[in-house]
Amino acid sequence: MAEIFFVGLGRMGKGLGKRLAQRGHKVGGYDPKEENRKIASQYFLTFDSLSKVKDFFEGRRVVWIMVPHSAVDDVLRQLEDFWKRET
């Protein structure tokens, strides 16, 4: 099964994550709003910081970004170290 990490746990991110988790996929997620994390944590793992995204993955890395278009650049900057290959 896939390992998928969602950034943005609003209606869409939470809903997609919940469905994937119910189908046996390993799902994790992050949202800056504690309330969104709390609701999503009923269905899959949630993290209070994007810096912890590396701790989630064991294999292939799939990150699904579900944020408003105005926040995409900031999220990508926060994930910059995550994208770098470890040697």
pTM here is 0.88
CA–CA separation, 46 and 34 (whole Å): 10
Q: pLDDT, tens digit, for every residue of 19-76?
A: 999 999 999 999 999 999 999 999 999 999 988 888 888 888 889 999 999 999 999 9
φ/ψ of 63, rounded to 5, equals -120, 125
| Whether 79 contacts 51, CB under 8 Å | no
The domain made up of 3-83 has a fold known as Rossmann fold (3.40.50)
Give the burial class of 52: count Cβ atoms within 10 A of its Cβ; 0-12 exposed, 13-18 middle, 19 or more buried: middle
Please tell me the predicted confidence (pLDDT) of residue 87. Answer: 46
Which tokens in the block code for residue 11?
């209606």
With bands split at pLDDT 50, 70 and 90, how would you rate the model's confidence at 86? low
**Domain extents in the chain:** 3-83
